[in-house]
Every structure is written in structure tokens, then in C-alpha cells.
Amino acid sequence: MPPRGTRAPDGHRGRERKVLNGPVGGPTAALSLLAVVLLAVGGLHGLSRLLRVSAQPLSAVPFGSGLEPAEHAVSRFHVRWYTVTMLFLAFDMEMVFMYPWTLVISAVGPGAVIEMFVFLGILFAGVTYAWREGALRWT
């Protein structure tokens, strides 16, 4: 280290700075790594195309019960199923909230009981509304 008040050989006061020169540092290393990764991904993609078993799609075959499918698997569903799905999710979330509630009810006290009954009341009001609007009618 040069004496105090003098300049280092690189023109700055204090310690000498180490500068990475050559192919190890800078953008060259990042671009080299990118090129290696791209070549590896491209090679694996080409290898998978060469080694695949069949390029022909499979024909529709019976599934589940053994009956021939009546319609395509990604056909549209009737709108009433979305209402049933929403009801299922509401009651599923009810159970997600009720399991931890059972663990803390004694520590929290009567406030937890009141909050849970308000929550159940809101769910019951939603089911009553869906029932009244005919969302649960299948005919």
C-alpha cells in the first residue's frame, strides 16, 4: 500500500483496484453461458424429436365405463354447473375456515363462536338464495 497522501499506480487514492481482464469477466462470460444453455436446450429438443415413439395422435377410445364417448372431452358445460361449482367452493372454504377455528375456539372465547355463526349465516343465506332462484333444480 502506498504511503498516505500518495496515489496508487492506477491514479486513485487508497487500495489498488483489481480489474478482471480477458475472457473470464464481462459480457463475454454471460453470452458464452447463454450460448451453451441454448445449444443444450436445442440439442435436447432435437433429441426428443428423434427418439419419440409416434407422431400420430391417438384415436378416441372408450374410457372409464367402457362406453364410446358421446361428445368431445372439452365440450361446453351447461351454465347450471357453474352455480353448483360456486356452491361447492363456498362450502369447501367453510371447511377450510372451520378446522383451524376448532383449535382456537377455547382461547378466543365467545367472540369466535359469534363470528363463526355469522359466517355460517351468510353461507346459509347464499344457499337459500340459490335454491330460491332455481340453481339447484335439475329439470
Torsion of CA 4, 6, 9, 13, to 10 degrees: 70
Per-residue confidence (pLDDT) for residue 29, from 0 to 100: 84
* pTM of the shown model: 0.40
Which comes out higher in pLDDT, residue 67 or 10? 67
Provide the phi-psi class of 129: left if phi over 0, else alpha when psi is between -120 and 50, else beta.
Answer: alpha
Cell numbers describing residue 29: 462470460
pLDDT surpassing 90 at residue 65: no
Ordered by start, the domain boundaries in the chain are 23-50, 80-132
Q: Give residue-wise pLDDT tens across range 93-128.
A: 888 888 888 888 888 888 888 988 998 898 889 888
Spell 67-89 as b/e; 16+ CB within 10 A means b.
eeeeeeeeeeeeeeeeeeeebee
The H or E element spanning position 4 is none
Q: What is the mean pLDDT of residues 28-34?
A: 88
Yes or no: say if 139 and 131 are a contact pair by the CB < 8 Å rule. no
CA distance 1 to 54: 70
